[in-house]
Chain A
Amino acid sequence: MSKLFALIGNQNCGKTTLFNRLTGSNQHVGNFPGVTVEKKEGAIRKQKDCVVVDLPGIYSLSPYTSEEIVTRDFLIKDKPDAVINIVDATNIERNLYLTLQLMELDIPVIIALNMMDEVRQSGNSIDVLQLEEELTIPIVPISASKNEGVDELIERAVKVAQKHQKPKRLDFCTGEVHKAIHSVMHLIEDKARNIGYTPRFAATKLIDDDEFIIDLLKLDEDEMDTIEHIITQMEKNLKTDRQAALADMRYNYIEKICSKAVEKKNVLKEKARSEKIDRILTSKVLAIPIFLCIMFLIFWLTFGLIGPVLSDLLTLGIDAAVGGLSTLLTDMGVSYWMYSLVIDGICTGVGSVLSFLPTITLLFFFLSMLEDSGYMARVAFVMDKLLRKIGLSGRSFVPMLIGFGCSVPAIMATRTLASERDRKMTIILTPFMSCSAKLPIYSIFTAAFFPKNAAVVMITLYVLGIVVAILAGLLLKKTVFRGNPIPFVMELPAYRLPTFKNTMLHMWDKAKDFIRKAFTVIFIAAIVIWFLQSFNWQFNWVEDSSQSILASIGSYIAPLFAPLGFGDWRASTALITGLTAKETVVSTFAVLFGTNSNLALQGALQSVFSPLSAFAFLCFTLLYMPCVAAFATSRRELGSTSTSLLTAAFQTGVAWVVALIVFQAGTLLGF
């Protein structure tokens, strides 16, 4: 018989590691319906028909974040056969807070007590049997990172699911809270059961002022009044408010059982070590320089040392494959347009995007290490104050920084942001960071127009990107994303060595995602651009691309760019092809000018652009909507086509305005 398990736990308690241990590489990643909260599921290894779903890392079941709502909905609607609740033994009090709420749902639960090895090594102990007896839940001590106890966990979890073994104790409340919960339970019992909630959970949530449940229960006015009366009575007697009373009740119970079962003699080794590391990594003087060094090292390894080698190898491979395909097509005697579609269209388009793959994979390798080691939380801690001014939190810093390398992994990295609002804003702002694919454009233009001040112009462009992101952030904060940002209440986990398996799985996940995109969205985009480039409006094949549909669209929209100083049809055409990948702008210019050397291309550009209009053009290329790969990523991460189209329109609009200001102000100033 098939069994469904839910894996639930706090953030930073080793949940992903355990999930990877349970499933191996047999995972399926998607989103929960309607929201962009990640949903991972996989078959449990060596068990028949057992599926485990990795739910988001949460601290409570209150309905305040989409993660919490998703988790709750899943538990109630999908009715897993058992919940595997992972509890960090080194941080047991706060972790059990979620456990108590899970118990109220009246579904079979088993606790995976993780990091027990660390507790033992530090000379501390947890009496598992005692804890089991208190909580009436089976507990299996494990070490997910060392793969200890995982087999036993699986075995016992399956048993719990088969026997449908629910927690026996539900009553960890005392005194006034107990009285209130039971009175409310009695009142709403039928209505709660009708909507599939246990009376206990519904009653607690009603006392907790959970509007979600209040709406669901459809209570009449009398019932509402009675409940309100019960709660105010409790508040009066306890001299505290309802939310504090509930939190207090749970933590009191946890403290009580922990005082019996947990022996804490020494400070945990990992915590002591973390404190030492933090004395340097988050110190007043060294925090920023060290952070910059780490980021520099990552970029240097990715774009300087390893990336180019891998990219070249991949390009060689792609070229060989394309060469083979080309011979094959010629031998088969296909028509010239078919040949061109496959070779010039699909292979060139998808190939040029695929050559990013090593860069993206490498960046993810490093990002995943930063995240798993606990350093990412420190970066958020250090950088929070800077990003708050534009309505973001420190968590957005790293994704934005990755944007200087490539927008695709940067946008994917926003997954680590807890708040939906922060995430959307980061996705919109990140492409303003000048990505590495724009460098070839800068270099050809600076060589042609600013040979003496090339470095100054490049730095100006990078700074301009940052300034525009800040201004756009302020604008968004005042308009679309008004209202209170999600509070920045974040745990700083102890530093831990990332496990090789986790890092590799994470990397593989992202690479897979990108490859899938390359063969769907980018595949189609490449065909469309190829078609526009190769045919005229009569759908006749054109040899000279200046006669193509693309060129005519370019000419048609060219007047839009006239106020920006580059009304030439070749400029607008290059901007369109630049959407497949930004460096294509350069090759399009080369094709349209019919030049085949860098020097000739520079000369041709000088005949069309003035230094000022060239700079305005660079500003536009810096800021306008990112390439299809990045666009496809943001569409997926935003979870909506219309929002992502709006985002692209916003970015392009900003680019237009900035280039306009640059060109017009420059003209006025006599440049």
Chain B
Amino acid sequence: MTLDQLQTGRTAVIDFVGGQGALRRRLLDMGLTPNTLIKVIKVAPFGDPVELQLRGYELTLRKDEAAKITVTEMHE
């Protein structure tokens, strides 16, 4: 599945970061590297972007960008 499909409150592991050029580099620089745990905190009032938590901080991404990140959902 991709990160934009992950439900609010759920955690997943990043498998692959897609996208190109500046966007991709930015995502990697911000710590969205494979095997990183990532949690969806909330969705903005208008339905986009999403608030995420990873490596102990909060990050916001648009759904279009989140759709480029492949993840595996973690089950408790």
Interface residues of A (CB under 8 A from B): 59-60, 62, 64-65, 90-94, 97, 240, 243-244, 246-248, 251, 264, 271, 274-275, 278, 282-285, 287-288, 377, 381-382, 384-386, 388, 486-494
Q: How far is the CA of A275 from the CA of B53 in the complex (A)?
A: 11
Interface size class of B (residues with CB under 8 A): 20 to 34
Task: Verify if B10 is at the interface (C-beta below 8 Å from A).
Answer: no
Contact in complex: B49, A385 (CB < 8 Å): yes
The 16 sampled A-B contact pairs (Cβ below 8 Å) are A62-B25, A62-B29, A93-B31, A94-B56, A243-B25, A244-B17, A251-B31, A275-B41, A287-B44, A384-B46, A487-B22, A489-B26, A489-B30, A490-B59, A490-B60, A491-B58
Contact in complex: B44, A91 (CB < 8 Å): no
Q: How far is the CB of A391 from chain B (nearest CB, A)?
A: 13
Q: How far is the CA of A74 from the CA of B40 in the complex (A)?
A: 38
Contact in complex: B49, A384 (CB < 8 Å): yes
Measured between beta carbons, the chain A residues less than 8 angstroms from B61 are 488-489
Q: How far is the CB of A172 from chain B (nearest CB, A)?
A: 15
Q: How far is the CA of A90 from the CA of B55 in the complex (A)?
A: 10
Q: How far is the CA of A94 from the CA of B24 in the complex (A)?
A: 16
Measured between beta carbons, the chain A residues less than 8 angstroms from B49 are 381, 384-385, 488
Measured between beta carbons, the chain B residues less than 8 angstroms from A64 are 21-22, 25-26
Contact in complex: A97, B29 (CB < 8 Å): yes
Measured between beta carbons, the chain B residues less than 8 angstroms from A246 are 28
Q: How far is the CA of A646 from the CA of B41 in the complex (A)?
A: 44
Interface residues of B (CB under 8 A from A): 17, 21-31, 33-34, 36, 41-42, 44-49, 51, 55-62, 65
Residue of A240, A486, A489 near B34 (CB, 8 A) is: A240
Q: How far is the CA of A248 from the CA of B60 in the complex (A)?
A: 21
Q: How far is the CA of A636 from the CA of B29 in the complex (A)?
A: 31
Given A248-B34, A489-B59: A381 in contact with B44 (beta carbons within 8 A): yes
Contact in complex: A489, B28 (CB < 8 Å): no
Q: How far is the CA of A385 from the CA of B44 in the complex (A)?
A: 9
Q: How far is the CB of B8 from chain A (nearest CB, A)?
A: 11
Contact in complex: B30, A59 (CB < 8 Å): yes
Most chain A CB inside 10 Å of its own CB: which residue of B21, B31, B33: B33
Measured between beta carbons, the chain B residues less than 8 angstroms from A59 are 26, 29-30
Q: How far is the CA of A388 from the CA of B46 in the complex (A)?
A: 12
Q: How far is the CA of A643 from the CA of B45 in the complex (A)?
A: 36
Measured between beta carbons, the chain A residues less than 8 angstroms from B42 are 278, 282
Given A248-B33, A491-B57: A243 in contact with B44 (beta carbons within 8 A): no
Residue of B22, B26, B41, B57 near A91 (CB, 8 A) is: B57
Contact in complex: B29, A91 (CB < 8 Å): no
Q: How far is the CA of A623 from the CA of B34 in the complex (A)?
A: 50
Q: How far is the CB of A263 from chain B (nearest CB, A)?
A: 13
Given known contacts A247-B28, A385-B44, A385-B49, what 11 new A-B pairs fall within 8 Å (CB)? A64-B26, A92-B56, A244-B34, A251-B31, A275-B41, A285-B45, A381-B51, A382-B44, A382-B45, A488-B65, A489-B59
Measured between beta carbons, the chain B residues less than 8 angstroms from A243 are 24-25, 28
Q: How far is the CA of A243 from the CA of B62 in the complex (A)?
A: 22
Measured between beta carbons, the chain B residues less than 8 angstroms from A275 are 41
Residue of A65, A240, A283 near B45 (CB, 8 A) is: A283
Measured between beta carbons, the chain A residues less than 8 angstroms from B27 are 489
Contact in complex: B28, A492 (CB < 8 Å): no
Q: How far is the CA of A282 from the CA of B26 in the complex (A)?
A: 25
Contact in complex: A386, B46 (CB < 8 Å): yes
Contact in complex: A247, B33 (CB < 8 Å): yes
Q: How far is the CA of A284 from the CA of B51 in the complex (A)?
A: 13
> Nearest residue in B to A284 (C-beta to C-beta)?
B45
Residue of B24, B48, B56, B59 near A384 (CB, 8 A) is: B48
Q: How far is the CB of A615 from chain B (nearest CB, A)?
A: 34
Measured between beta carbons, the chain B residues less than 8 angstroms from A90 are 56
> Nearest residue in B to A384 (C-beta to C-beta)?
B49
Contact in complex: A244, B45 (CB < 8 Å): no
> Nearest residue in A to B61 (C-beta to C-beta)?
A489
Measured between beta carbons, the chain B residues less than 8 angstroms from A60 are 25, 29
Contact in complex: B55, A94 (CB < 8 Å): yes
Q: How far is the CA of A386 from the CA of B41 in the complex (A)?
A: 21
Q: How far is the CA of A59 from the CA of B31 in the complex (A)?
A: 10
Contact in complex: A492, B25 (CB < 8 Å): no
Contact in complex: B25, A251 (CB < 8 Å): no
Q: How far is the CA of A285 from the CA of B46 in the complex (A)?
A: 10
Contact in complex: B62, A384 (CB < 8 Å): yes
Measured between beta carbons, the chain A residues less than 8 angstroms from B62 are 384, 388, 487-488
Contact in complex: A244, B57 (CB < 8 Å): no
Q: How far is the CA of A487 from the CA of B44 in the complex (A)?
A: 17
> Nearest residue in B to A93 (C-beta to C-beta)?
B55
Q: How far is the CA of A240 from the CA of B51 in the complex (A)?
A: 27
Q: How far is the CA of A142 from the CA of B61 in the complex (A)?
A: 31
Measured between beta carbons, the chain B residues less than 8 angstroms from A489 are 23, 26-27, 30, 59-61, 65
Measured between beta carbons, the chain A residues less than 8 angstroms from B26 are 59, 64, 487, 489
Q: How far is the CA of A55 from the CA of B46 in the complex (A)?
A: 35
Measured between beta carbons, the chain B residues less than 8 angstroms from A385 are 44, 46-49
Contact in complex: B58, A492 (CB < 8 Å): yes
Measured between beta carbons, the chain A residues less than 8 angstroms from B36 are 251
Given A243-B28, A284-B45, A385-B47: A492 in contact with B59 (beta carbons within 8 A): yes
Q: How far is the CB of A12 from chain B (nearest CB, A)?
A: 9
Q: How far is the CA of A287 from the CA of B44 in the complex (A)?
A: 9
Contact in complex: B60, A381 (CB < 8 Å): yes
Measured between beta carbons, the chain A residues less than 8 angstroms from B47 are 385
Most chain A CB inside 10 Å of its own CB: which residue of B31, B42, B45: B45
Contact in complex: A288, B25 (CB < 8 Å): no
> Nearest residue in A to B65 (C-beta to C-beta)?
A487
Measured between beta carbons, the chain A residues less than 8 angstroms from B65 are 487-489
Q: How far is the CA of A91 from the CA of B65 in the complex (A)?
A: 23
Contact in complex: A486, B22 (CB < 8 Å): yes
Measured between beta carbons, the chain A residues less than 8 angstroms from B34 are 240, 244, 248
Measured between beta carbons, the chain A residues less than 8 angstroms from B25 are 60, 62, 64, 243
Contact in complex: A93, B56 (CB < 8 Å): yes
Q: How far is the CB of A464 from chain B (nearest CB, A)?
A: 24
Measured between beta carbons, the chain B residues less than 8 angstroms from A251 are 31, 33, 36
Q: How far is the CA of A264 from the CA of B49 in the complex (A)?
A: 29
> Nearest residue in B to A95 (C-beta to C-beta)?
B57
Measured between beta carbons, the chain B residues less than 8 angstroms from A97 are 29, 31
Q: How far is the CB of A651 from chain B (nearest CB, A)?
A: 29
Q: How far is the CA of A274 from the CA of B45 in the complex (A)?
A: 18
Most chain A CB inside 10 Å of its own CB: which residue of B26, B28, B42, B48: B28
